[in-house]
Structure 1
Amino acid sequence: MKRIHAGLVVAVTGGAAGIGREIAHQFAAAGARVCIGDLSGHDARVTARQLPGTVHGCELDVTDERSFHSFLATTEALLGPVDVLVNNAGVMWVGAFDSEPDTATARMIAVNLHGVIRGVRLVAPGMRARKRGHIVTIASAASRLSPPGEATYAATKHGVLGYLTAVREELRGTGVQLSVIMPGVVDTELAVGTATGAAKLLDPTDVARAVIDVIERPRFEVSLPAYVGPLVHLAGLLPQRLRDLALRRAVPDQVAATRSSAARTAYENRVLREPDA
């Protein structure tokens, strides 16, 4: 692994488990100094102790301005100015659009969209002043696609891509890089019970490697698997009827996939009952 990451100060939201944990692990193994934030400060600290190198764990609620500001201030006090922010925190409710609880709608917008906006707004000005920095956001293939059963989730991910597209242009020439990682279904608790469609099931390490790679070779959009992005663009050139047929063959119907899934219900009951980062 290249040592370009050695000494970097990296802040990871939603870092106690799943994709966030693996991102923190790979950065720390590459010599970066890492601070992971999670709604459970206890879980974040436990994870930090289990990872190699210099890793700290902090409580972080990405839906709360003061909490996010405190997380970034703590990271800077412990490790120095943030070189890389990874917006990873996310939640997902799956089901028919007209049975989605309003609490689920509000929670996804607050975490998946506003949490990203908040992180960018808080960290980018300091990076711009230092003329360097990289903000990596873990979005989703749903930023380009809209699987049945993930209407609001897809809307938040479309919103993330739209927001970052505009901010990237505002930051052009400042030395601050923005990247959006758009994976398909990843083997994490967030995706429990869902189907992968035509794409393979990804592992958190696949996403973490993409984050490491995009720091080495900065680019704005990264699709996982890599062929998904070009296929979506090609599908967009087809007439609507043919596009619909092609996407119905490739994109899973998550309403059908998650119907009667006890594991899915347990996850959603937990993330709706209490804030989740």
Structure 2
Amino acid sequence: MLEAGSLSRGERTQRLLQAVHVATSAKERAQLELCVVETNMVVAAQIAARYRGRGIAHDDLEQVAYLALVKAVRRYEFAEDRNFLSFAVPTIRGEIRRYFRDQGWTIRPPRSVQEAQTRIRGVEDELLHELGRAPRPSEIAERSGLDAGLVVEALAATGCFRPSSLEGSATDEGGRVQEWLGDDDPEFGSAEARTVLAPLLAGLTRRERLMLEMRFFRGATQKEIGDTVGVTQMQVSRLLSDLMGRLRAQLVSADERDEHERRSTTLA
């Protein structure tokens, strides 16, 4: 067995995986893979911790993360220039997201989205293994044969999880969730903005909504948006500029109309 010495976790992992690659017996390979898992369990736990407080027990999330780590170790194909965590981290995140989709829904998404998620799960692992990174929506759409907009919608549909009880613990130190609720919620402003924007967004085409979602909610680049919707990067820039100008004009018009109605009500 390899000596840990003063090696960093990454260096130790790389040496263990190299030993796995050249191992001649199944028993030796299994022992080395177990060492890789034990060395990187802290990484899996850290990833699971980022999903705390979303309606699923933290212990369950950690177990999913550990199992995903085992899967990543077994599927990893060793190469000197291929960092293990660049493959393992997306694998662990993907398994946690899938667990939320399968176990965490309070409000079920439309059947079309559920069916799309099933097909996406089938190709996500394939692409992850081939590319060594998390696949883009456009790549998933091409492999699965699904509409790119539906792929984005299915990937984004991860927020309708079981709500945490107000009587439940808010932190590891204790204290109920309701005790942490303040009087002034900074989200009120954004909620009001969403209410104002909703009628405007409802009038957009599916492609326009997809472009806005990818740009402002998913942080996609103009090139990624162009690849997804089938236009050039320059066209994306022009389309987004025109779209934002149109929305801005409609918003100003709505404000003026509301102000006119308020004045008419006051005079009456």
After TM superposition, the score normalised by the length of structure 1 is 0.23
After TM superposition, the score normalised by the length of structure 2 is 0.24
Q: Which has the higher strand share?
A: 1
Q: Which has the higher helix share?
A: 2
Which structure is richer in relative contact order (CA contacts within 8 A, separation 6 or more)? Answer: 1
